[in-house]
A and B are shown apart, each in its own frame.
Chain A
């Protein structure tokens, strides 16, 4: 009955590989997000989708490509992984509107070696 679930929890891979992280929410929210948390715990938004449409696309390398097959799912594909991509990636969802809190998944710790 997890509200926002993302898989895998841990991902260890070598430079140059391509990997995907999946996210699903069962809260009925229209908006989903990807955040990146670095080693200093700084959390930065990467993308936001509202009902399958991209609405926020921060300055993120185009090696990162989000995909939303439906409003309950938002996946993140990363091509040609680099050492600097190592971080914890969080999926989140919210209802539409300014005063809507975010519901986060438990994160995917990506380690690029």
Chain B
């Protein structure tokens, strides 16, 4: 069964607005990672949050993790047209042996 499920599946906003994407998962994890995929390209790692962390920042990105609810959110502040991409969460399950399981992704469109 799929580990990570993302919400919403698609999000369309205007430049300058904030974008929030959510991810839910089912089992205990070592860490949760967020990746971006531009059209026709490979995934690019954005940020990793460990299971004992609650919040992490990197530039305009803010990630939260709630292990009691088995959920995470990715916030992109002051969005730009260049942020248009698919965003995936990926979980490293405790019992998986360093196997990342990806969600279905959120397609973010930032309109100029």
Q: Which of B37, B50, B99, B104 contacts A56 (CB 8 A)?
A: B99
Is the CB–CB distance between B33 and A101 below 8 Å?
yes
Known: A97-B98, A99-B30. A43 touches B42 (CB 8 A): no
Is the CB–CB distance between B43 and A104 below 8 Å?
yes
Q: Which of A40-77 contact B (CB under 8 A)?
A: 40-45, 48, 55-56
Q: Which of A55, A92, A99, A105 contacts B97 (CB 8 A)?
A: A55
Let me know if A27 is at the binding interface, CB within 8 A.
no
Q: How far does the alpha carbon of A102 sit from the alpha carbon of B102 in the complex, in Å?
A: 12
Give the Cβ gap from B105 to chain A, nearest Cβ, in Å. Answer: 5
Is the CB–CB distance between B42 and A106 below 8 Å?
yes
B86's nearest neighbour on chain A, judged by CB, is A41
Is the CB–CB distance between B98 and A100 below 8 Å?
yes
Q: How far does the alpha carbon of A31 sit from the alpha carbon of B90 in the complex, in Å?
A: 17
Chain A neighbourhood of B2, CB < 8 A: 42
Chain A neighbourhood of B50, CB < 8 A: 99
Per-residue CB contact flags for chain B residues 11-48 toward chain A (1 = under 8 Å, else 0) read 00000000000000000001101010100111111001
Known: A56-B97, A101-B33. A43 touches B102 (CB 8 A): yes
Known: A43-B88, A56-B99, A99-B48. A105 touches B31 (CB 8 A): no
Task: List, sorted by A's number, 12 A–B pairs whose CB atoms are closer than 8 Å.
Answer: A31-B98, A43-B102, A45-B100, A92-B43, A96-B98, A98-B30, A101-B33, A102-B35, A102-B45, A102-B100, A103-B45, A104-B42
A41-B104, A98-B92, A104-B44 known, 18 other contacts, Cβ within 8 Å? A40-B104, A41-B86, A42-B2, A44-B102, A48-B99, A55-B97, A56-B97, A90-B43, A98-B31, A98-B98, A99-B50, A102-B33, A102-B35, A102-B43, A102-B90, A102-B100, A105-B42, A106-B42
